[in-house]
Structure 1
Amino acid sequence: MMFEMTIRFAVTDIEKARSWYTIFLQKDPDFIPHAGFLEWEVVSGCWLQLAEKAETEYRNGPLRLGVRNLEAARERVIEKLDIQDFDIHMRSDVPVKWATFPDPWGNQLGYYEYLDKEEEQNRINQLK
């Protein structure tokens, strides 16, 4: 039985990453177990970990976060994080619209928004 989730991204500058991800997630890290490693509990039981590495040899992700207003999230990260490549995508067979963009280390991040607002509210209620 699974009950939690973590995703770890490699970054080359942990202090720059701390600042960048604090803005992206709109909160400080929840746990710093040791130097060069940061953790945020994004939603209950789901953790994002950043590990400082000399070089990032691969790209991680995408890690996408559910939001109520994708356009507002888009405007915020374009303004505050200077994201240049942020296109919103939709497909007729997918119940969400989404966007993916890289952090400064090439890790893939993004957001998604439910198209059916009743379904969105049901999902939010399930998580309470």
Structure 2
Amino acid sequence: MIFEMTIQVRVKEINEGVRWYQTLLNKQPDFIPHDGFAEWEIIPGCWLQVAEGKPTEECGPLRFGIEDLEEEKNRLIKQLNINDFEIHSRGEVPVKWGTFTDPWGNRIGFFEYHNKAEESKRIKTILGNKVF
């Protein structure tokens, strides 16, 4: 039985990487067990690890579900100077999505449900009444 997960991205310089991901995630790391490594619990049981090392090319994308894709896109363009990215949508897919790269080449993205009732249902299923 799988009950938790982690995913790791690598950055060339950990302090710069931690600052960048703090801005991306709007929060400080939840756990820094040793030099060269930081972790954020994205939702209960789902961790993003940022490790100092050689970034893996053509990895990902790692996408996060959010409530307002356009708002988040605009925030990141302004705060992290990422390149503008296209938002994609297909009729048979319940979400719209967009992908960009961090300064180390890791592919990151977001997705937003078209149907806000479905989105609310997913949030409640995953988080319950907890505000994370």
Report the TM-score, using the length of structure 1 for normalisation.
0.95
**Matches of residues 36-115 of structure 1 in structure 2 within 5 Å?**
36-53=36-53, 55-115=54-114
- The alpha-carbon deviation at position 125 of structure 1 amounts to 1.1
Q: Which amino acid aligns with 1:29?
A: P
The runs of 5 or more residues in structure 2 that have no matched partner are none
Alignment of 1:28-43 (within 5 A): 28-43=28-43
**TM-score normalised by structure 2 residue count:** 0.92
Q: How big is the shift at 1:86?
A: 1.3
Q: RMSD value over aligned CA atoms?
A: 1.0
Q: Distance in 2 between matches of 1:60 and 1:28?
A: 24
Moved over 3 A (4+): none
Deviation at 1:57, TM superposition (A): 4.6
Work out the CA distance in 2 between the residues paired with 1:51 and 1:20: 13
Map of 1:24 onto structure 2: 24
Are 2:10 and 1:10 equivalent residues in the alignment?
A: yes
Whichever residue aligns with residue 7 of structure 1, its letter is I
Partner SS state of residue 33, structure 1:
coil
Consecutive unaligned residues of structure 1, counting only runs of 5 or more, are none
* Partner AA of 1:21 in structure 2: Y
Percent of aligned positions that are identical: 52
Tell me the matched-pair count.
127
CA 1:99–1:38 in structure 2 vs 1: closer, same or farther (change >3 Å)?
A: same
Instruction: Return the alpha-carbon distance in structure 1 between the equivalents of residues 39 and 76 of structure 2.
Output: 20
